[in-house]
């Protein structure tokens, strides 16, 4: 069974600085997908970024980028120029379509606080 581990329950960063959130996963599959979701205090789950395992190039979305190390099974999220609105819970998630369920397996989350 796949597992996703986020080793940092809480982190903080100063506004405008850069922060990296860690995520490791365990799987025996070769093709899969990785996601970072953001959950602000409003509770809404918002997709931040997505990475396909067969793509070597790291995904980037504006100030958000990932460092995907397939051999190490690592998928960290870098937030550049942090903003107060980035304060949220961040969840790393894994998905494959083996069995066709499109199931997401989530990590336990990292609570990020951006300080003014």
Interaction site with another protein (CB under 8 A)? 4, 9, 31, 33, 35, 42-45, 47, 50, 52, 91, 95, 97, 100-104, 106-109
User: In terms of CB distance, is 37 or 82 closer to another protein?
Assistant: 37
In the complex, the smallest distance separating the C-beta of residue 37 from another protein, rounded to whole angstroms, is 8
**CA neighbor of 8 nearest in space, from 106, 82, 108:** 108
In the complex, the smallest distance separating the C-beta of residue 99 from another protein, rounded to whole angstroms, is 9
User: In terms of CB distance, is 7 or 103 closer to another protein?
Assistant: 103
User: In terms of CB distance, is 79 or 107 closer to another protein?
Assistant: 107
DSSP for the chain, please give it. Answer: --EEE---SEEEEETTS-EEE--EEE-S-SS-EEEEEEE-TT---EEEEEEETT--SPPEETTEEEEEETTTTEEEEEE-S--GGG-EEEEEEEE--GGG---EEE---EEEEEE-
In the complex, the smallest distance separating the C-beta of residue 114 from another protein, rounded to whole angstroms, is 21
In the complex, the smallest distance separating the C-beta of residue 24 from another protein, rounded to whole angstroms, is 14
Query: How many angstroms separate the CA atoms of 10 and 32, rounded?
Result: 27
């Amino acid at each position: 069974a796949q597992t996703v581990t986020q080793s940092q329950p809480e982190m903080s960063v100063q506004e405008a600085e850069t922060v990296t959130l860690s995520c490791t996963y365990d799987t025996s599959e070769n093709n899969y997908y990785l996601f970072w979701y953001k959950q602000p205090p409003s509770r809404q789950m918002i997709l931040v970024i997505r990475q396909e395992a067969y793509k070597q190039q790291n995904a980037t979305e504006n100030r958000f980028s990932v460092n995907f190390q397939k051999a190490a099974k690592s998928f960290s999220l870098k937030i550049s120029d942090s903003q107060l609105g980035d304060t949220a819970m961040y969840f790393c998630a894994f998905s494959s379509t083996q069995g066709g369920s499109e199931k997401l397996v989530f990590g336990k989350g990292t609570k990020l606080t951006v300080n003014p």
